[in-house]
Chain A
Amino acid sequence: MDQRMNHHAAHDAGALTADDIRGLVRPDHIHRRAYADEAVFALEQERIFGRLWIYVAHESQLKKPGDFVRTRLAQHEILVTRHNDGKIYVLVNRCPHRGARLCMVDQGTSRLFSCPYHAWVFRPDGSLSTVPHIKSYPQDFSTDDPQHHMARIENVQAYRGFVFATLNPDPPPLTDQIGPMTEVIDNLVDRAPDGEVEIADSSFTLEYRGNWKLHLENAADVFHPSFVHSSSVAPARRAPENASTIDGGQTREMLLANGFTTTDWERIELTGLSGGHTFMTNIYTQGALVNDDRDPVSARYKSALVAKIGPERAAAVLGVNRFNNIIYPNLVLNAQHQQMRVTIPISVDRTLVRVHCFRLKGAPDEMFHRAVRFLSTLGSPASMIFSDDVEMLERCQQGLAKDSEIWVDFSRGFDSDQRAGDGKVSGAASEMPMRNQFKAWVEYMTAEAA
């Protein structure tokens, strides 16, 4: 199946050579075609989303046999399922008989998937269970024949509950691709006193009319919030402290936090790692957004954690203050607020962003209430923050869609980036993270064989 798919994608993107791709990226500028050319998008679907490990589900969504989640992997709509054998399977959501989409809901529990057209019935591992009036099919027709099963994506790996799949028939280990970013998944899970997180049932899926990379760049961009979010920063500054009786001031503090000053820009440290991963450090320093012992909920949470893992380990776990950890190509994690965003490309100018939060098992309920409010404040369709981001992503796409020789400028901080170990560090709101993302982009896009 992988072979057929890659062949098809290669055909779509056939016109582009490795030199074409390299020609779109200068050290500090990117050509507009990277965002607006359908051939580039087809090649991304083949070589990035069709070849890398891509996050598809969290194990807490697949607790018992029959549990499933519907999502996307490259150009496929997929079902991630838990089968009776206890294993997780990733299946293309399509009936192998006539090609109809099988499952029409995003999440649920079903011991069998039945095609409404001619009633072929499949098990959660994709195998064909029954076909009505089987004697009318050819004599050699067998339900055991894999060509009558739902197409299965064979390579599935989980890291501490986070399930990834890849269309690459011969992939490197998942941890090779994620590299040191496993630390952020570790940090999220380690924050749970019981050593386990559960993804919240409620999430939002937002759609914008723009290229998927725009969201990733925006999530790594500390220069824009003071401008893009000024309409929510200014009213939050004028609003009285602790006036809300339902959120302990959290919404106001989250809005305020976008009012970066020059000092903030210089204080926030940006890190870019090989493989396109980036994160920022020291972004939130006060209020309900950090673990402050004066806050009774944080204090109770901290003692629950200390009771399980001891004071030293707890201090180390809670001391990690990294924001917008971007696991290339499409996962944004904020461990200290139990948040995750997944970027899902649909077409060259259409993207879904799925926004989730997690429950820390063993933590006070109020910690989860805060994570839920964080999710709504930042990721609800009515968010006072993300709606302004989306407006800018869409305006960028509109400007870049025009057929002309435009180069996007990512030169901020180009002179001041410093090497650090495997990657680079930068301050003062550098555009190093975007340059770092594009460095990986070129590597993946020009790699010939999987």
Chain B
Amino acid sequence: MVDHDTQRKVEEFLFEEARLLDAGDFEAWLELYKPQGIYWMPSQPGQTDPLNVASIIYEDHAILSIRVARLLEARALVLTPMPKTTHVIGNIETQDRNGEGFAVEAAFICVEHRAESQKLHSGRHTYHLVPDDDSFRIKMKRVDLVNTSGAYSPMSILL
């Protein structure tokens, strides 16, 4: 565990991220990432290999930039109308990585509302955060969905 101030700062960082996603401010969301930062949503529980095993998303800043630009394109069919989301983050636990930033684990629930349908996403986030000024940047964010088996419908939002 870490001291109270650090834990508080980590929580504020995660809450800010959730707020930016809910507000649709995806460019500001991307700014939370290091230039070499990675967003990884594995397709299998406990997946360790992003190259030989398909991921739902395995993208660095450059590919994420395209994804974010698409979310802001008026022409994205799947975003017409734009989904509205509520990201809720909890059970936040922080470990010091001995001078290499912090390992953070959290549970999440996200309600997505679009047109006539409402969907519920949930799972666990794992972050590798590194200090940046008075806050952090994301070196790696891993999103493990609870529903990684069975059939998926398309997912256009970010978790």
Contacts and interface: CB of A to CB of B under 8 A. Distances in A.
Interface of A: 106, 200-208, 228, 230-232, 234-236, 238-240, 243-247, 251-252, 255, 352, 357, 365, 368-369, 372-373, 375-376, 380-384, 386-388, 390-392
A228 B75 CA distance: 8
A37 B55 CA distance: 37
Contacts of A388: 76-78
19 contacts: A202-B43, A206-B151, A206-B154, A207-B153, A208-B153, A231-B76, A235-B70, A246-B38, A246-B63, A252-B62, A365-B52, A372-B51, A372-B52, A376-B55, A381-B153, A381-B155, A382-B41, A388-B76, A391-B78
Contacts of B56: 204, 376, 380-382
B153 A384 contact: no
Contacts of A236: 66
A380 B62 contact: no
B66 A255 contact: yes
Contacts of B154: 206, 208, 381-383, 386-387, 390-391
Nearest to B73: A231
A21 to B, nearest CB: 30
Contact of A207 (B70, B73, B152): B152
B151 A205 contact: yes
A253 B56 CA distance: 18
Given A239-B65, A375-B54, A376-B55, A392 B77 contact: yes
Contacts of B62: 239-240, 243-245, 252
A382 B75 contact: no
A312 B76 CA distance: 45
Contacts of B79: 231
B63 A247 contact: yes
B44 interface: yes
A365 B66 CA distance: 27
Nearest to B154: A387
Given A357-B54, A392-B77, A251 B152 contact: no
Interface string B120-159: 0000000000000000000000000000011111111000
* Top-5 shortest CB links A-B: A235-B69, A387-B154, A231-B76, A243-B62, A381-B152
Contact of B151 (A251, A352, A365): A352
Most chain B beta carbons < 10 A, residue from A205, A235, A239, A391:
A235
A251 B66 contact: yes
Nearest to A245: B60
A259 to B, nearest CB: 12
Contacts of A252: 62-63, 66
A392 B80 CA distance: 12
Contacts of A380: 43, 54-57
Contacts of B38: 246
A201 B55 CA distance: 12
Interface residues of B, number: 36
Contacts of B41: 382
Given A246-B63, A391-B78, 12 more contacts: A201-B53, A203-B54, A204-B43, A204-B54, A231-B73, A234-B69, A240-B62, A247-B60, A247-B63, A255-B66, A372-B52, A390-B78
Contacts of A386: 154
A244 B62 CA distance: 5
A236 B66 CA distance: 6
B118 interface: no
B59 interface: yes
A251 B59 CA distance: 9
Given A244-B62, A369-B51, A384 B67 contact: yes
A247 to B, nearest CB: 7
B95 interface: no
A386 B54 CA distance: 16
B36 interface: yes
Choose among A240, A352, A388 the residue with the greatest number of B CB atoms under 10 Å from its CB.
A388
B151 A387 contact: no
B97 to A, nearest CB: 22
A375 B63 CA distance: 16
B54 A376 contact: yes
A202 B149 CA distance: 11
Contact of B70 (A106, A200, A384): A384
B58 interface: yes
Given A202-B44, A207-B153, A245-B62, A238 B69 contact: yes
Nearest to B159: A382
Contacts of A255: 66
A94 B73 CA distance: 48
A295 to B, nearest CB: 17
A375 B156 CA distance: 17
A231 B75 contact: yes
B52 to A, nearest CB: 6
Contacts of B77: 228, 231, 388, 391-392
Nearest to A352: B151
Q: Which of B60, B77, B155 is most buried by chain A, counting CB atoms within 10 A of its CB?
A: B77
A231 B70 contact: yes
B52 A369 contact: yes
Contacts of A228: 77
